[in-house]
Structure 1
Amino acid sequence: MKKPVYLDYAATTPVDPSVAEEMAKCLTLDGVFGNPASRTHGYGWQAEAAVEKSRRQVADLIHADPREIVWTSGATESDNIAIKGAVEDALAGQGSAHVITSAIEHKAVVDTCKWLEQRGVDVTWLTPGRDGRISYDQVSDALRENTRLVSLMLVNNELGCITDVASIGAMLRQKGIMFHVDAAQAAGKIAISVEQLNADLLSLSAHKVYGPKGIGALYVRRAPEVRVAAQIHGGGHERGMRSGTLPTHQIVGMGKAFDMAAGKLEEEQGHLENLRAQLVEGLSQLEGVSVNGSPDHRVPGIINLSFDGVDAESLMLGLHDLAVSSGSACSSATVEPSFVLRGIGLSDRQAHQALRFSMGRFTTSEEVEFAASRIVEVVTRLRAVR
């Protein structure tokens, strides 16, 4: 059976073969398999050296100091450590904490902030514009005397739109308010500098950048020092912020993936921009197709489209030879429209008509041409029978 054309790179990327090759060298007795925390023999020293090389590679992509990189199991854990850890530290020192975030953050941020609310922390939920972006003025107007943390994503995972976090971060830096940036969807897609973003904490994930699942990192600024309370205890690893034996093979995979991303950034941006334009052109014969989110401030590889008169679930069933993502999330009994799409002002009906198409390193022009023709065919057929 022929595999469907993969257009869901925003969900996860395949591991690059070069990354898999490096990872394989860290699994067996004749490789670098040791525990990086074993300081009494060469196996541990080798593993530690590999981990530290990868730490530098990850730091280089975001222009950080390697000592500011804390290994985690992924961006979800990074978000949890950043938000819970920052608030816990603030509560211990000042007794109250107000948090600002947006209504369209990744669930790892949304659910963490809801968890804090249940424990008495005051959270302000900002509503983005129709373009899916949070503005400087929105954050400024929401600040309070006890605001301790602002958490915003750089690139939205459903829309691909880019928020101007640098200007927001500059304001927060002047006021001494901690700023967490979820950059899981941004790494490898746009240039990132933690200093230019004025980020205090920044979350990263390997599997969005052609690395393995199960590994991520949290940038924690050192000068001046940012303090976050540990959420996992047991050994004091990673500057005391995240205990646990480091998975050398996964860390090496993330380092290699981020090193490759740094070298391929401009090339891949051009490749993805061309593919996106090709997809839009291929769908131009269809009426009633609208782009959700900012048409200008966006990453090139993600496009979220609504098709008037066509239910996204039915469209996905018709597009069985394409791997794409619906804006809907299934619960036990109902299909709810995407909270992100509703968050930018779409009606339930419009949100139910949306699909996300995301392309990546291995997507070809021929695949996009095929995808566009199939989408036109299925949308036309579904509209004819409604």
Structure 2
Amino acid sequence: MAARDAAQQAFYELDSAQREVEIAVETVRAAEDGASVRQAVAEFQDLSARINQVNMAYLDALDAVDLEAAELPPGAAAQARQRLEQAARELAAKQAELNTFLGRLQPLLQYAEGQLIRVTPAVEQAKRALLAASTALDAVRSAGLAADDLAGRLVELAPELTRLNEGASRHGVAATLQRAEDVARRAEAIRADAEQRPERAREIDRRVASLRTRIQALETKAGTVDPALSELRRRFTTACWQDLQRVPQQAAEAVRTAQGKLAEAAAARDAQRWADATAAIGTVRALLETADGSIAAVTDRLRRLTEVERDPQAEVQRARFALRDAQRLAMAGRQAPDPRHAGPLDAAVGRLDRAVAGLESAGRHPDFWHFLTELDAVRETAGQVVAMIRGTGAPH
């Protein structure tokens, strides 16, 4: 019975392998009718006939003895086992022949599968890509943009489309697949480029308009610089405003340069030189940001000096509060502060005291800007120490 089960398993495996090879042969024959295919079909028919003989021998061995009978004749079980084991060996041998045949069939099968499965979808995909590229090209022209370069690239694909229509039977499967993939890729690149152009143009138009408004705003703000500088000169010592004297000239130069660069960006946009337009816009933005910062520095300087002139102690209290907060954090959970924290804080306390003493001893013309920069440095030191403590996991 064990021999019967083994033979039965070999029979099922052979039958399954034979069906798989039969499908492969039918695939090859459906795709082509060349000499190599006809030879493979004939070889498979011969192999199938021999497999049928082995199958009949297995069935005969299976029916020769009733292994389920209550009593068996003497030697029947041994004879049945011998015949079934022989049948299993022959079935396995025929499956090995099938596997060998299938291995030799692989080149033809791969060719057939490529021809039947890949060619048609690939060609259709190439045609859809060409249609999408043509539609996108029409949209570019409808938007009033030149697209001669795109049209030229599309015209170059026309001969390739003709070859695709002639089919793989004329040009070969491999060449047709490669041509279809190449056409689809190039057409997709044309479509993507075409679809981006109107949006690129609109985006650059938006940026140019926005920057033009910013330039006008900058011109307006630049008009406030001279009055602010005049007040700084009238009310405060030279050290408080000397570094700001060239801001009006710098702002005017920035406006002129930005206007010129913006005109370059607009011209590049019209010529569809997108990279040049983007670079010019970036230059304009940088010029405006720098000029805005310089103008803001003048008005901010006047505001801060006015505030500290009116109430110097307010700035002092802010700095002392920042130091006390850092000192409390440095002592949290400790008997003594870490020297890395205590050293900078002690130096900042001394710096604050010297700044206050210097202001008080300055008389009628104190250098308020030096006083403010010293207190800013004190607060910055306190902030750095706090960040250092929290960065090392000290208690908050």
Same fold flag (TM > 0.5):
no
Radius of gyration: which is bigger?
2
Normalised to the residue count of structure 1, the TM-score between the two structures is: 0.21
Larger relative contact order (Cα-Cα within 8 Å, sequence gap ≥ 6) = 1
Higher helix share: 2
Higher strand share: 1
Normalised to the residue count of structure 2, the TM-score between the two structures is: 0.20
